Amino acid sequence: MSEVRTSKVDELRVVHQPLPRHDQAEKIAGTTRYAGDLAFAGMLHARLVRAQIPSARLTRRDATQARAAPGVVAVLFGEDVPNNEIRVDVPGQTVAVGALKASMQVLATDRVRFHGEPVALVIAETEDALAVACDLVEIEYEDLPVVSDPIAALTDGAPEVHPGGNLLAEWRIDRGDVDAAFAQAAVTVEETYRTQFVDHAYLEPEAGVGWLDDDGVLTLRVATQVVEHYRDVAKILGVPDSKVRVIAPYVGGGFGGKEDMTVEPYIAVAVHHTRKPVRMLWTRNESLLARAKRHRNVMRYRTAAAADGTLLAHDIEIVSDAGAYAYLSALVLLYSTVHACGPYRVPNVRIWSRTAYTNNPPTSAFRGFGGMQMVLGYESQIDEVAHRLGIDQGEIRKRNALVKGDRLPVGQEIITEVWLPQTIDAVLERAGEKPRPSGPRKAVGRAIASNMQSYGRLVWLNDSAAAWIGFQMDGSLTVRCGVPDIGGGQASSLGQIASEILAVDMDRISVHFGDSALNPLAGTTTATRQLLMSGNATYEAAVLLRDQILSGVAEETAQPVESLRMQPGQVAGPETTVPLTQALQVCRRRNVPVEALGTFFGPKGKEVTRDLEGDRIFPDFTFGTHLADVEVDLDTGEVQILRYLAAHDVGRAINPLSVEGQICGAAVQGLGQALLEDLVVQEGVNLTPGLFQYLIPTATDVPDVEAIILESGEGLGPFGARGIGEPPIGPPIAVIPAAIADAVGALPTTLPVTPERVLRAAGGR
Amino acid sequence: MSERHDVTTTLTVNGVPVTKTAGAHLSLLRWLRDVADVTDPKYGCGEGVCGACTVLIDGDQVSACIVLAAQVDGAQVTTAAGLSEPGGSLGPLQRAFHEHHAAQCGFCTPGMLLCAKSMLDESNGAPLTRAQIREDLHGNLCRCTGYSPIVDAIQAAQEAGRPQAASAP
Amino acid sequence: MFVKPFRYERAESLAHACDLLRSADGYAKAIAGGQSLLPLMNLGLLEVDEVVDLSAIAEARGVTMGDDGFAAIGALTRHRELERDEALAAAQPLITAAVAWIGSSRIRNRGTLGGSLAHSDPSAELPLVMTALGAEYTLTNGTDERTVRADEFHVSYFTSALEEDELVASVRVPVLGPGWGWGFAEVARRKGDFMLAAAAVIARVADGRVVEARLALGGVHERPMRFGAVESAVAGATSDELDGRIGPIEGSAPVSDTSASAEHRAHLARVLAVRALTDAMTRGEAA
């Protein structure tokens, strides 16, 4: 079990307890029905036919033979879709950040822009018929130029991926006097860092079933992080929003890859067309080809520092690869820009960030959302400054760390305590002595890396979430909240919060989640926002409900309401204690509702402008530090991680087991990006469309991540919690190169750090 | 060229004999999921790499996605559900997973359980170290947990299963 | 994952299987463990009209020790059986060591020796080891048999000397004699992945020096190959001298892919050759 250090001792009954989650037993028993596990009698099967080349005009699309094949019900092209457009529209997005460019066709009609783009939808009675029919769809292409490098895409005369040029979004920041700062610097460091395309590689490929219910509501039960996509599906079908329902069952991993629509439009179109239940399962190959990836960034940093290690200036240029369609690229770039300087005070900052279209796979949301790639940049730069000045890694970070009241270069004030120094001390203390190499041709290195990552959505998106809680007359509790549960205990945490406030045991609470028609909407399970948003909404609902029950009992028993307490099974007062079931009946008699709806509105701010002049962009941030010991084989370049520590201030750990799980899981995902994962695309062609080529960490590639949970109580979530889903994914991509540099003497600046790149850094040692 | 050739296959799945006539081209995974409605083995890759489809055939772990059902006609098949107690409550290995928070999204869990069972059965009582457990787990991918709680669970199950251990299953 | 329907025939013997292959209408493939062929089918890279299933055949399994300094291994012996065979581990530990590197235990539970050899992947462990040992494969078409040495059997990527109606029936391997040691060294990106490169060595050692060495490298050519030039270069060397005696490996032709570049594979081949030879010498001296 990890170490938990808390700054406030509260008598919490259920919150802060490491409780096994309520969904775990079914998952472990194997009875959970994921999106692909549900089948209907008479169900049809649907599959996409996808472009096999990255850039072409479609000159012929013919389904005559396919339609004639046995068992085939329909073959649809773009013209058969009522409104053949998918719009990726984050509420509140403005023209200035390219929202209106974020659209693509459901099925391509004239042009394909990436390897894997959908062109036809085949619907058949059996999967066998589908396999045969898909090969019979005839598609002819006329090759068009391929743009595969985002920097080249931004040069004059580059072929246009979309009309209007390849620049999708751009930000420029200029604060203070950067040139003057460089003029007086004691040390200047310049370097370019490169990250790669990364795939979510959740174990569950995209899947779902759709059907028309008895009221003609088109219902989709799909692996998704966002039930609100019912609105986008309704637009595609040309039906009212109220006629589409999305149900999110337990999802087999999301990480942002199931944030945009995946199977939803296709299942919906198939159901709409055939009026029958339809199932669609993507193969792993399709998932690796066509699901939007993590943006690869090229980050050029120039950093100026004073002789005592104080950072004076950053001059940063970022180019990210938006792939063939915009999706959320503009927002991801915004995150990269805001996070570019890291958790440090930097008075003079110039940032020029751009994201460019290419004929590469589309890129979109992925845990860390643009903020995590920057960790490689800002941590490597501060390390080099430290190295040149002979200052210790931990010391230089503490010297420059933000404190409450400081402002980021974009103007945002840090409104909570920053426990960065405490996380640094925590890992250094726990780490002990650096190990010695195990042989003559081995070298050991140690490094730390710190980061900050926002939690909660951009404040000008007017985020909100709602939750409903109701007592049953026997004292058990029902919670309804539209939050999708993607494995991080999202639903279970709500039960814990309700349990804490209303003093009902966890095994008497049911949480119904993830249904756009039957639950109050809570928004996306993304952006590390659910604990802040639905957690607070549940907290609000629970407090409202508690106050209602107590007011009913207060009147009945003539005791002041402030003197009453909810306790397990009863309402306790100084003179009279009433059993809970009786209290509920009292409320009914007195017309006091035994249910409540809570709505939580996220922090608000004004929309950002092109130069990011704004008071507040994110609600708040989570800070942390990781430490790694690595051993390098100087002959083969192989890297073994000997030890890995991860310390984060989580504000308050609602469920320490869940928090530890997030820290370990995210850190290992980050380690995968650091050492192994590379979605390789060459001239637009995806060369790693299988899990035997796209390498994610196995149990032998990573050690036990030792999670150190610090609790400042300073977060904006319920009970002072901060979000923890995304923050731990950032530091690994900096700490591993840094530890390797400590071992072999030079820093690898391109990810993943393959054995070859290690040997190059070791340079013939 | 693509005429259907059906075969009749009998498999005893978690103790229950199931006989079906279906296409000979069906992998054991597809046969279990689509023909026999046994959905706890999952499709993760179809390449035999991820381990989400792990089942036991006559006690040995295999990737169901790269075995034809017809090839194992007559065999005893165990899926994760087969590790539960007759009444449906969790068996000892499953309880260890539950107590150690060894599942987050849960998609890899059925495969992990069977890999764990296999490694414990084949260890012949000699206690496996954490490093050995991780080695034996290398063919089962997990994207959520980072593997530590799964190793914890297997160690705990190992402890509980030893004849001289005080705790009863 | 969605394989098109095919016809299925279950063979009762190797001879029956060869008959079925001969008489099949369209493209027929024999499947034993299926651990190489079924992934290809699931990925849509291989389509067949008929599958001839060898997995029910009772013959051609197990390891038999001869009294002539050789052992015979049935082609349908599963990797798992090879891994656990104690007689084989004593007689030819190079094979036992190499099998442990094949995939995962799930793959080893199903995959067979004959299947791996017939698939002829130059990045596979068993073809490599058999090449180092100079093993002989007995091939059958049901009526006639012929013997082909490993280095003639493995022709190119996924191409062997098998005729369309032939199957590997058994493999004859030398037993490791006194004074001989073995070494096996492999590098893969992750445990169980396809090798980037590997070296398989047996060497006879006397007075701390190499008397005779047989070295084969995998992952660096279209087929596993012995490298006579290296074998000659290390003749008479002590283990300290090995590194200096081996320069860049001539005659290899590795390719670049998403896992590693050709240059890196060539570099690794050299490193692993030294490691495998060093281990073989250590064991040879103790033998």
Q: Is the pLDDT of residue A477 over 90?
A: yes
Mean of per-residue pLDDT scores for chain C: 96
At residue C36's C-alpha, the angle toward residues C31 and C40, to 5°, is: 100
A25: contact with B, CB 8 A cutoff = yes
Q: Which domain holds residue A51?
A: 35-144+206-281
Task: Check residue A591 and give left, alpha or beta (phi > 0: left; psi -120 to 50: alpha).
Answer: left
Percent of chain A with pLDDT over 70: 95
**A48 occurs within a structural domain:** yes
Binary contact (A636, C258; C-beta < 8 A): no
Q: How confident is the model at residue A362 (pLDDT cuts 50, 70, 90)?
A: very high
Residues B15, A759: Cα–Cα separation, whole Å: 54
Chain A from 332 to 371: CB within 8 A of any B CB: none
Least CB-CB distance to A131: which of C2, C194, C259? Answer: C2
Q: 3-class DSSP state for residue A203? A: coil
Model-level pTM greater than 0.80?
yes
Binary contact (A692, C3; C-beta < 8 A): no
Neighbouring C-alpha atoms within 13 Å toward the C-beta of B130: 10
Q: Each residue of A562-576: pLDDT tens digit?
A: 999 999 999 999 988
Beta strands in chain C (DSSP E): 7-10, 28-31, 50-53, 63-65, 70-74, 136-140, 145-149, 154-156, 159-160, 167-174, 180-188, 195-206, 209-218, 225-226
Residues A665, A650: Cα–Cα separation, whole Å: 15
- Say yes or no: A468 and A376 in one domain: no
Domain total for chain C? 2
- Say yes or no: C68 and C164 in one domain: yes
- Say yes or no: C85 and C167 in one domain: yes
**CA-CA-CA-CA torsion for A50, A52, A57, A62, nearest 10 degrees?**
-50
Binary contact (B27, C38; C-beta < 8 A): yes
If you average pLDDT over residues A656-667, what whole number do you get? 94
Q: Which residues of B touch A32 (CB under 8 A)?
A: 106
Which of A238-247, A417-426, A687-696, A713-722 is the least confident region? A713-722
Q: What letter does residue B34 receive in the DSSP assignment?
A: I
pLDDT of residue A3: 56
**C15 occurs within a structural domain:** no
- Say yes or no: C97 and C150 in one domain: yes
- Say yes or no: A441 and A583 in one domain: no
Alpha helix locations (H) across C100-184?
105-110, 113-119, 125-133, 150-153
CATH number at residue A71: 3.90.1170.50
Ordered DSSP codes for B111-122: HHHHHHHHHHHH
If you average pLDDT over residues A192-198, what whole number do you get? 98
Q: Is the pLDDT of residue A529 over 80?
A: no
- Say yes or no: A393 and A348 in one domain: yes
Q: Is the pLDDT of residue A142 over 70?
A: yes
pLDDT of residue A608: 67
Percent of chain C with pLDDT over 70: 100
Backbone phi and psi for residue A648, each to the nearest 5 degrees, phi listed first: -135, 145
Q: Which residue has the higher pLDDT, C258 or B4?
A: C258
CB A370 within 8 A of CB A334: yes
A591: contact with B, CB 8 A cutoff = no
- Say yes or no: A245 and A380 in one domain: no
Q: Each residue of B101-136: pLDDT tens digit?
A: 999 999 999 999 999 999 999 998 789 999 999 999
ipTM entry: 0.95
pLDDT of residue C98: 97
**C37 occurs within a structural domain:** no
Note the residue count of chain B.
169
If you average pLDDT over residues C106-113, what whole number do you get? 97
Q: How confident is the model at residue A17 (pLDDT cuts 50, 70, 90)?
A: confident
Q: Extract the tokens encoding A72.
A: 């085939």
Q: How far is C55 from chain B (nearest CA, A)?
A: 7
If you average pLDDT over residues A186-193, what whole number do you get? 98
Disruptive mutation site among A2, A3, A28, A43 for chain B (greatest number of B CBs within 10 Å): A28
Tell me: cis bond preceding A752? Omega within 30 of 0 counts.
Answer: yes
Binary contact (A698, B138; C-beta < 8 A): yes
> Of A147, A104, A164, A60, which Cα lies nearest the Cα of A681?
A147
Residues A26, A43: Cα–Cα separation, whole Å: 26
Q: Each residue of A264-314: pLDDT tens digit?
A: 999 999 999 999 999 999 999 999 999 999 999 999 999 999 999 999 999
- Say yes or no: C68 and C155 in one domain: yes
Q: Each residue of A630-658: pLDDT tens digit?
A: 999 999 999 999 999 999 999 999 888 88
CATH number at residue C84: 3.30.465.10
Q: Which residues of A touch C194 (CB under 8 A)?
A: 692
Residues C45, B118: Cα–Cα separation, whole Å: 31
Domain total for chain A? 3
pLDDT of residue A493: 85
pLDDT of residue A4: 52
Residue ending a domain, choose from A281, A306, A323 = A281
Q: How confident is the model at residue C69 (pLDDT cuts 50, 70, 90)?
A: very high
**CA-CA-CA-CA torsion for A616, A618, A624, A625, nearest 10 degrees?**
-80
Q: How far is B142 from chain C (nearest CA, A)?
A: 15
Q: Each residue of A220-242: pLDDT tens digit?
A: 999 999 999 999 999 999 999 99
Binary contact (C190, A131; C-beta < 8 A): no
Which chain A residue's Cα is nearest to C269?
A636
B161: contact with C, CB 8 A cutoff = no
Q: Which residues of B touch C110 (CB under 8 A)?
A: 62, 66-67
Binary contact (A252, B146; C-beta < 8 A): no
Residue ending a domain, choose from C157, C174, C191 = C174
pLDDT of residue C208: 94
Q: Which residues of A touch C268 (CB under 8 A)?
A: 636
Domains and CATH numbers, chain B: 6-79 (3.10.20.30), 83-161 (1.10.150.120)
Residues A644, A448: Cα–Cα separation, whole Å: 10
Chains that touch A (3 or more CB pairs under 8 A): B, C
Q: How far is A621 from chain B (nearest CA, A)?
A: 22
Q: How confident is the model at residue C1 (pLDDT cuts 50, 70, 90)?
A: low
Q: How confident is the model at residue A614 (pLDDT cuts 50, 70, 90)?
A: low
- Say yes or no: A578 and A631 in one domain: no
CB A627 within 8 A of CB A433: no
Q: Dihedral of CA C204/C209/C210/C211: which sign? A: negative
Which chain B residue's Cα is nearest to A205?
B44
If you average pLDDT over residues A753-764, what whole number do you get? 93
Q: Is the pLDDT of residue A77 over 60?
A: yes
Mean of per-residue pLDDT scores for chain A: 92
Q: Each residue of C194-205: pLDDT tens digit?
A: 999 999 999 999
pLDDT of residue B166: 40
pLDDT of residue C40: 95
- Say yes or no: C223 and C146 in one domain: no
Q: Which domain holds residue C220?
A: 180-286
**C150 occurs within a structural domain:** yes
> Of B87, B102, B144, B148, which Cα lies nearest the Cα of A706?
B148
If you average pLDDT over residues C186-192, what whole number do you get? 95
Q: How many other CB atoms are there within 10 angstroms of residue A361's CB atom?
A: 27
pLDDT of residue A143: 97
pLDDT of residue A101: 55
For A11, residues 6+ apart whose C-beta sits below 8 A from its C-beta are none
A698: contact with B, CB 8 A cutoff = yes
Q: Each residue of B58-103: pLDDT tens digit?
A: 999 999 999 999 999 999 999 999 999 998 899 999 999 999 999 9
